[in-house]
Amino acid sequence: MLFTESTTLLFVGDSITDCGRDRESGGTDLGAGYVAQVQALLGAHHPEAEVRYLNTGISGNRVTDLEARWNVDVLAHQPDWVSVMIGINDVWRQFDSPLVEQVSLQAYGEKLQGLVERTLPQVQGMIVMSPFFLETNVKEPMRELMDRYGAAARAIAVRNELRFVDVQAAFNAWLVHNHTSQLCADRVHPNAIGHNIIASAFLNAVGFEW
């Protein structure tokens, strides 16, 4: 497993990462989502791991928002590892807010790559998590576009030799047996089961021993 020594692990992203955290806590409040579940599972199964967890996700963020606040909300914390999941709103705004300035697929890839390049010299490593959309019809327009952004995130992880968490694939496997409505109402914001799916996918990617 990656986190065998004293480590600061910082998660950054949008509402899925934020998940109701107290933003006045300086990142120490982990919210009620997958970040808290990662902490609980690691703490239960690997008590020897000395991990300090931080959550600086902010609801509604796109990669452009991360770019603007990266120095303050990521690098200033001097983390050892950074996990980033971004892209859902970059896609969603193209469907629900067509009049706002959009983040194209090319811009998304370039900006995420830029964040990786800024960060890698200052940390032990990074983990890239794919954006996702809880829709089984891969030809549905938002799902189809989300998959393209997810592929861009994967390509960046491969190019920079980073751990990649295919969150969409983890949900796809679950949705073979159950309907999307059992996870959420809007196909984006999952319940506790959905967050456990994300947390499990993350832990599998970092070599967690169940």
- Structure confidence by residue, pLDDT tens digits, 24-53: 999 999 999 999 999 999 999 999 999 999
Give the span between the Cα atoms of 208 and 205, in whole angstroms: 7
Q: Is 48 exposed, middle or buried (0-12, 13-18, 19+ CB in 10 A)?
A: exposed
pLDDT at res. 151: 98
User: Which among 96, 177, 181, 186 is annotated as catalytic?
Assistant: 186
- Concerning whether 14 is annotated as a catalytic residue, the answer is no
Nearest to 77 by CA among 40, 123, 31: 123
Listed in sequence order, the residues at least 6 apart from 116 whose beta carbon sits closer than 8 Å to its beta carbon are 126, 128, 156, 160, 162
R_g over Cα of the chain: 16
- Concerning whether 195 is annotated as a catalytic residue, the answer is no
Predicted structure pTM score: 0.98
The answer to whether domain 7-205 has CATH 3.40.50.1110 is: yes
Q: Can you give the residue ranges of every domain in the chain?
A: 7-205
- Concerning whether 29 is annotated as a catalytic residue, the answer is no
DSSP classification of residue 208 = -
Within a 13 Å sphere around the CA of 183, how many CA atoms are in the beta-carbon half? 26
Instruction: Work out the mean pLDDT of the chain and round it to a whole number.
Output: 97
User: Which among 15, 83, 130, 200 is annotated as catalytic?
Assistant: 15
Q: Give the H/E segment covering residue 127.
A: strand 125-129
